Amino acid sequence: MAWDLNTVLLLLLVGLLAGILSGFVGVGGGIVMVPAMVLLLGYSQHQAQGTSLAVLMLPVVFLAARNYYNAGVIDPKVVLVIALAFLVGGYFGSKWSLLLPMDVVKKVFGGITLFVAFKLIFGK
């Protein structure tokens, strides 16, 4: 990837938007970063997913999560259980994704995103 000013600004915009939305409504990686990297930066679906996961691997959401914890709305036991399951699921999910052709993964990603969007907008 060429590291020109335009690319750096796009990367900063993607990160800022993902961070704001992550702190605001709990989304960022899959909903913001992956589509932005594919559509704006020309990443492949696999590249975008891997980059999104690598970004989230660092403690980038620590301050946002701390605000919610300080407000008393996070149960650490629930976090631990989900995190352990997420660890296992993330490992196998990434293995399976890399075995499939990129266009299949992209369609699965789009389908899940549409399903969730419709449920959030039109569901109870």
First to last CA, the chain: 43
Tokens of 66: 């701390």
Residues of the chain with pLDDT under 70: 25-26
Asked if 17 contacts 32 with a C-beta cutoff of 8 angstroms, the reply is yes
- Residue-level pLDDT at 20: 80
- Residue-level pLDDT at 25: 66
- The secondary structure element, H or E, covering residue 73 is none
> What letter represents residue 91's amino acid?
Y
- Residue-level pLDDT at 28: 74
Domain boundaries along the sequence of the chain: 5-122
Asked if 32 contacts 13 with a C-beta cutoff of 8 angstroms, the reply is no
